[in-house]
Structure 1
Amino acid sequence: MEIYNSLGMDAAISIFSHIFFIGVTFYALQAFRMEQLFKKGRTFQIQLIYILLSIAIGSSVSNFILDITGWSRQLPYLFT
């Protein structure tokens, strides 16, 4: 039963991490003036780019953090 609790906890942490970093990335992307790269009146496309970039970058950062965390938990096995 403990393995199921561990898997559930890892899943919850992963979901929270992804959502958190996607939100932080979306906030950070607001500092860029991407409107100048697009044609005028393309509001929907600009918003879509912000969302897709936020998901791509945020998920990558979240995966990196989760990988580093997992690997650091496995380091003690190197010395056994």
Structure 2
Amino acid sequence: MSTVDTVSAVGVNGLLSIFISLLCIGLSWWALQNLKLDLLIRYPKSAAGKLLHLLFAIVLGHFVSNFLLDYIRWTQSIRFMF
């Protein structure tokens, strides 16, 4: 594997990570729309309530995307077993 191939693979992995992370954050935002934040937050329609909703989506999306990216790496490393 040449240096150009290695650099290209690193770039593709970076783009894949960004895409999966943004996708998971978007899915988390969509899923959290059904959460009744008015039970936890005094004013869920305020700027602070919306910011908290966004931060929940980012944290949840981060954990989900990390799991998916780890799973992809694990499945790719299985080929080195044999």
Q: Give TM-score scaled by structure 1 length.
A: 0.91
Q: Residue 38 of structure 2 is aligned with which of 30, 35, 45?
A: 35
Counterpart contact for 1:35–1:46, Cα < 8 Å: no
**Matched residue, 2:57:** 54
CA distance in 2 between counterparts of 1:50 and 1:15 reads 21
Q: Could you tell me which amino acid in structure 2 is paired with residue 47 of structure 1?
A: K
Identity rate, percent = 28
**Matched residue, 1:4:** 7
**Which aligned segments of 4 or more residues in structure 1 are displaced greater than 3 angstroms?**
none
CA distance in 2 between counterparts of 1:39 and 1:60 reads 27
Q: Give, in angstroms, the shift of residue 41 of structure 1.
A: 7.2
Aligned length: 79
**Matched residue, 1:63:** 66
Q: Give, in angstroms, the shift of residue 42 of structure 1.
A: 6.1
Gap regions ≥5 residues in structure 2: none
Q: Give TM-score scaled by structure 2 length.
A: 0.89
Computed over aligned residues only, the root mean square deviation of the Cα atoms, in angstroms, reads: 1.4
